Structure 1
Amino acid sequence: MSFKLDANIWYRRFWGVVFLLGPIIGASQDMINFEHITTDNGLSQSDINAIYQDKKGFMWFATHDGLNKYDGYDFTIYKPQINQPESIGSNLIFDIVGDQDDNLWIGTTGKGLNYFNRSTEKFIRFQHDENNKGSLSSDHVIKVLLDSKNRLWVGTSKGLNMLDLKKMKDSAVFEHFYPEINSNEIFSRTNSINSLYEDDKGHIWTGTAQGLFKILRDKNGDQYLQSVNEAIGLPKTRVECIGSDNFGRLLIGTGNGVYVQMAGPDSTKIQKFHEGDFNKLLVDNNNHIWFGTNEGLLYFKNTNKDNVPILENHFKYDSRNKFSLSKNIVKSLFLDKTGIIWIGTNGGGVNKYDPERKQFRHVRKSLDPNSLSYDKIRSMYEDSNGTLWIGTEGGGLNMLKKEYDDGTYNNFRVFDNIQRTFALTEAFHNDRKILFVGAENEHGLYILDITNPNRIKEENIIKAEDVDTSVFSLLTDSQNNIWIGTYGGGVQRWVPNKDSKQYTKDVFINSPSNPLPAK
């Protein structure tokens, strides 16, 4: 005979799973699972300085030992080859960007800017030449940015360079930018470019050890670099990352905190909203903000243009959790075309997180005496009081009252007298709430009055009469009848008597001599 699963059973079982899944949003870091890609998976080295996705969907990773291309399964590694000038110039890769033809521009340490032709699989090196004023200003390239006008901006240890790809033919002529005369004193302390950013208005911003600079034009139309520290209220501090949110507000990550440009009449001014040393920032598809630091990954909710972003979570490496961040030093962040966030660490390879993917929290027995009593789960049920009941196969019956459900799942109370609990249901009888517990033993059914959850005691669990075999399934139907599935004893139906605490009990067993009529 075939049986159809009753909708009430499905609802109770499914809701039990959702109960554990639901509180994930906004909860602690162990509820986020990071996928790790390491040298065990083929990555050439574990320090990830930059991440990029090309138009074909391949992921590219800049490491301290070569350029890595990843197709989701396998890696292709590009490293310098002896006596092969068309190989990549250096194995120390700092940044990657693609152009309109999906070719790559790669910033290296020691071998300048490398151009990778995807069709020929060959590299061309652009390096500093003392005898060529139009060459790159330094062979130590830190940042590379392709702007909306098809201009390539190259930040080096000795200033900012620009290569107009529209005008580039047989040779490359780099234009060099120097700060305005009034900020020479500031800029001369270091020419190193830490970050580059183009905003939605096409403005180019540059982060340096002495603060924030912006490309402006003078009255003759010539471009120059100008410090904007004083204009926006930024102290003279190292700027490591620049971006903007979906409200159009400028975001600045520094060695002395992170700042946001506030809306209003004084919209040019910025406001610090968190202390710390920040390496990298990323705004996700929901306008929330992720910051990479030397102390882990910070996640800020960002829902109101009139308020500063609010710290929601701080993710760190945890040796006890294999799904935690792989290392604490986060040097690169990238949002791919599908919304997945890629995190590059120092020493821990690549981490992946998909915000749209449902995350399951693992609730298990731990050293905490109030944790789940046993990991082998046979039944789950939430009663009408909001109390969660979890039956285990060998660890008793776990009870979590609604008032103690703080999301940690370390406030369980355990009833040991029913070691192997396989089924749970609730029924109402004469204004009382009764929990029925099915177990695997010679007394398979137990009854507990749960009307007042504050008065529940283990000694109040009563063995039910007339059930002398294991009970593996229970159901309360729409008429408040209790259906009891036993092991070898058939199915029982208990119909509550309105005028007493008793039940009228029917037993349905298999009888070959009296089969059910065919329909």
Structure 2
Amino acid sequence: MWLATDSDGLLRFDGAESINWLAAGKDTQHRQNVNKFVLDDNGAMWFASWGQGLTYISAQQQLQLRFRADAANPAALASDRVQTLFMDSKRRLWIGSVAGVNYIDSSNLNQISRFAADEPTHPLYQNRIWWITESSEGIWFATSDGIVLLPADQSAAKRYYLPLSSSLQLERAREVRALQQFSSGLWASSANGIYRYQNTCDCFEQVPMPTAMATPRFNVVHPQGDTLLWVGAAEGLFLLDTQTLTWVAKDNNYNFLPDIDVRTLFVNADDQLWIGSRDQGLFIGTPQHRVFSPLATSLPATKSQAASRLTSALFHDHANKLWLAAQDTLLYQDSQGNWQQFPFRAKANIRKIYQIAEYPAGTLWLATDTGLYQFKNGQLQFDPTPFQLTGLAPSGVTALHVDTQGVLYLGVWQRGLISWQVGADSASLNLTQLAENSGDQIYDLALSPDGVLFAATRYSGLYKLTSTRGWQRVETGTRELVEGFNCVVPESASRLWLCSEYGLWFVDLESGQQQHYLTEHGLPSVYITAALFDKQGHLWSLTNHGPARLRYPQK
């Protein structure tokens, strides 16, 4: 990616770091302003400067040409303050400055010509040029005094003034900052609004703006796809659907980047929007497609507020009804599918529900920050039994698993793992070594399809329950990079997916194969909080920057 900057010259950015292409390794005294640049098909580069004219550098840098203003030469650059550049379909480079227009034919790079240099009545004569583009009608110029067209049939130049609402009496009312020609037509921007050229009337018509948008001072426009037009303004970034002539709102806000003075826009091959601002840095917008809808929007008004808050646990019961542990409230569907809620914070002073399990059908077990609870028939009941049987005071249960025989496995905050057969008068405490690490806990308990139970811990790595030796630590080969795991997703007793604070891991314990997935592999973030396989066999990772699906899961 090439970036023209106000004071750091021309930067080449590879996604990780940038270098000053014109003065690599030199200090700021050797840097210069670059307003615009054009990359030729053969690799050559033209770049315009504010105060240092126009420069040409060939692909291999064997040839370098500089063009400067010269009052004694009527064909010379109109001004050293070059505002914009444009290469037309005939391979002519048009140079727009604060004092008029020049052009250079690619067949003769050394010769520069001034347009309308001796025609004081010509609309381009000594006019400040902001933007240049081309359509089937000819070459268009956005100037400080309207829009000028040089017709393709070489007839007389035409000037267009944008229509003004009587309520708009702005300074520089005739100034047009940008023009953009793409599949949906020719578009112009000014401090007064956005306009579309109409062939039927040979005029520009203003696009209506909703009252909520006020009147942004538009600087630049850039297309995305065939119908969308990004519009940069002194107040932020806006998006116009050119097919319906409607402004797109995000969360009831038309401004996608409030309080940012947007000066340049570019959409790259990956459909990312690059946004250059005035003295506020560079922004990158990545396209997002909404495939998830907030559950809260489908709930009754009395339940939607609770569902829109932080959710700490999700569970589907034997009847495939959904349970959500939201902030202070348990939301669930009853047997008729109607949504109910239970205020566990107000009823039992529970601050957080970590996980939910069911045994037998109809009885839910809740792992909470204050201990183990049962929930049945709309009633919540505290159950201290497993703590009493192991001599522990009731405390936070951070992980929970129940097997088909009704054995509950409880990960207890900084104490270890309790195993308790529901209804039995004995229980065992394992993994007591977790108490040796301050803050250690079991984050996840998961059973493999072939019946092996795994425990993922915060600081002590991964453990599995063996039939002969009880709980044993699993050597994953990741200890040098991560201490523990947020989740474990077993494909089998030997093929595991592990979530960590430093990416997603695949480990084959038999072969020793290991794969580490990071942001360069497509993850939104390296902080992985959970993972799961869906019914189609796709692996989903949940990160602190949103979900991601592995495109080709290993099988």
Aligned-residue Cα RMSD (Å) equals 4.8
Cα separation, 2, equivalents of 1:100 and 1:510: 65
- The one-letter code sitting in structure 1 at the alignment partner of 2:129 is I
Which residue in 2 is equivalent to 1:305? 243
Which residue in 2 is equivalent to 1:25? none
Structure 1 71/428 Cα, relative in aligned 2: closer, same or farther at 3 Å? same
Over residues 452-472 of structure 1, what are the superposed CA-to-partner deviations in whole Å (9 max), with x where a residue is unaligned? Answer: xxxxxxxx5222586557573
Q: Is residue 93 of structure 2 the alignment partner of residue 174 of structure 1? A: no
Q: Is the 8 A contact 1:343 1:352 kept in 2?
A: yes
Q: Is the 8 A contact 2:146 2:162 kept in 1?
A: no
Structure 1 306/79 Cα, relative in aligned 2: closer, same or farther at 3 Å? closer
Q: Is residue 73 of structure 2 the alignment partner of residue 132 of structure 1? A: yes
Structure 1 511/253 Cα, relative in aligned 2: closer, same or farther at 3 Å? closer
Cα separation, 1, equivalents of 2:358 and 2:196: 53
Cα separation, 2, equivalents of 1:174 and 1:424: 77
- The one-letter code sitting in structure 1 at the alignment partner of 2:3 is W
Q: Which of 105, 120, 123 matches 1:164?
A: 105
Structure 1 residue 291 displacement after superposition: 1.6
Over residues 331-357 of structure 1, what are the superposed CA-to-partner deviations in whole Å (9 max), with x where a residue is unaligned? Answer: 111112222211111222222222159
The 5-angstrom pairing of residues 295-374 of structure 1 reads 295-300=235-240, 302=241, 305-312=243-250, 313-316=254-257, 328-355=260-287
Q: Is residue 257 of structure 2 the alignment partner of residue 257 of structure 1? A: no
Structure 1 401/159 Cα, relative in aligned 2: closer, same or farther at 3 Å? farther
Structure 1 475/271 Cα, relative in aligned 2: closer, same or farther at 3 Å? farther
Which residue in 2 is equivalent to 1:291? 231
- The one-letter code sitting in structure 2 at the alignment partner of 1:485 is Y
Q: Is residue 121 of structure 2 the alignment partner of residue 197 of structure 1? A: no
Structure 1 153/418 Cα, relative in aligned 2: closer, same or farther at 3 Å? same
Q: Is the 8 A contact 2:386 2:418 kept in 1?
A: no
Provide the secondary structure at the position in 1 that maps to 2:271. Answer: coil
Which residue in 1 is equivalent to 2:145? 210
Q: Is the 8 A contact 1:212 1:227 kept in 2?
A: yes
Over residues 254-289 of structure 1, what are the superposed CA-to-partner deviations in whole Å (9 max), with x where a residue is unaligned? Answer: 1101123479x6685523233321111121236322
Q: TM-score, normalised by structure 2?
A: 0.56
% identical equivalent positions: 19
Q: Is the 8 A contact 2:100 2:124 kept in 1?
A: no
Provide the secondary structure at the position in 2 that maps to 1:129. Answer: coil
- The one-letter code sitting in structure 1 at the alignment partner of 2:272 is I
Q: Please, which runs of 5 or more residues in structure 1 have no aligned partner?
A: 1-57, 82-87, 318-326, 362-369, 391-395, 403-411, 451-459, 495-507, 515-519
The 5-angstrom pairing of residues 117-516 of structure 1 reads 117-120=58-61, 123-166=64-107, 168-169=108-109, 171-177=110-116, 191-199=127-135, 201=136, 203-216=138-151, 222=154, 224-229=156-161, 237-246=174-183, 248-261=184-197, 269-274=204-209, 275-285=215-225, 287-300=227-240, 302=241, 305-312=243-250, 313-316=254-257, 328-355=260-287, 379-381=313-315, 388-390=324-326, 397-399=328-330, 414=345, 417-425=349-357, 436-439=365-368, 443-447=371-375, 449=377, 460-464=379-383, 468=387, 470=397, 472-474=399-401, 484-486=408-410, 487-490=417-420, 492=422
Q: Is the 8 A contact 2:409 2:418 kept in 1?
A: no
Which residue in 2 is equivalent to 1:20? none
Which residue in 1 is equivalent to 2:530? none
- The one-letter code sitting in structure 1 at the alignment partner of 2:157 is L
Q: Is residue 12 of structure 2 the alignment partner of residue 69 of structure 1? A: yes
Over residues 112-164 of structure 1, what are the superposed CA-to-partner deviations in whole Å (9 max), with x where a residue is unaligned? Answer: 11112231276421112233332222211000011222110111111122211
- The one-letter code sitting in structure 1 at the alignment partner of 2:90 is K
Cα separation, 2, equivalents of 1:420 and 1:437: 10
Cα separation, 1, equivalents of 2:145 and 2:367: 70
Structure 1 474/104 Cα, relative in aligned 2: closer, same or farther at 3 Å? same
- The one-letter code sitting in structure 1 at the alignment partner of 2:193 is G
Structure 1 339/421 Cα, relative in aligned 2: closer, same or farther at 3 Å? same
Over residues 309-368 of structure 1, what are the superposed CA-to-partner deviations in whole Å (9 max), with x where a residue is unaligned? Answer: 434441336xxxxxxxxx71111111122222111112222222221599999xxxxxxx
Cα separation, 1, equivalents of 2:59 and 2:131: 26
Structure possessing the higher relative contact order (Cα contacts under 8 Å, 6 or more residues apart): 1
Cα separation, 1, equivalents of 2:421 and 2:398: 10
Which residue in 2 is equivalent to 1:51? none
Cα separation, 2, equivalents of 1:102 and 1:131: 33
Structure 1 residue 398 displacement after superposition: 4.8
Cα separation, 1, equivalents of 2:345 and 2:140: 60
Structure 1 425/156 Cα, relative in aligned 2: closer, same or farther at 3 Å? same
Which residue in 1 is equivalent to 2:41? 100
Over residues 395-447 of structure 1, what are the superposed CA-to-partner deviations in whole Å (9 max), with x where a residue is unaligned? Answer: x7555799xxxxxxxxx995562345321257997xxx875422365x52331
Structure 1 residue 209 displacement after superposition: 1.8
Cα separation, 2, equivalents of 1:126 and 1:471: 70
- The one-letter code sitting in structure 1 at the alignment partner of 2:349 is N
Over residues 21-66 of structure 1, what are the superposed CA-to-partner deviations in whole Å (9 max), with x where a residue is unaligned? Answer: xxxxxxxxxxxxxxxxxxxxxxxxxxxxxxxxxxxxx423332242
Structure 1 373/337 Cα, relative in aligned 2: closer, same or farther at 3 Å? closer
Cα separation, 2, equivalents of 1:482 and 1:210: 82
Which residue in 2 is equivalent to 1:11? none
Cα separation, 1, equivalents of 2:345 and 2:201: 59
Q: Is the 8 A contact 2:193 2:206 kept in 1?
A: no
Provide the secondary structure at the position in 2 that maps to 1:134. Answer: coil
Structure 1 291/413 Cα, relative in aligned 2: closer, same or farther at 3 Å? farther
Structure 1 297/309 Cα, relative in aligned 2: closer, same or farther at 3 Å? closer
- The one-letter code sitting in structure 2 at the alignment partner of 1:173 is I
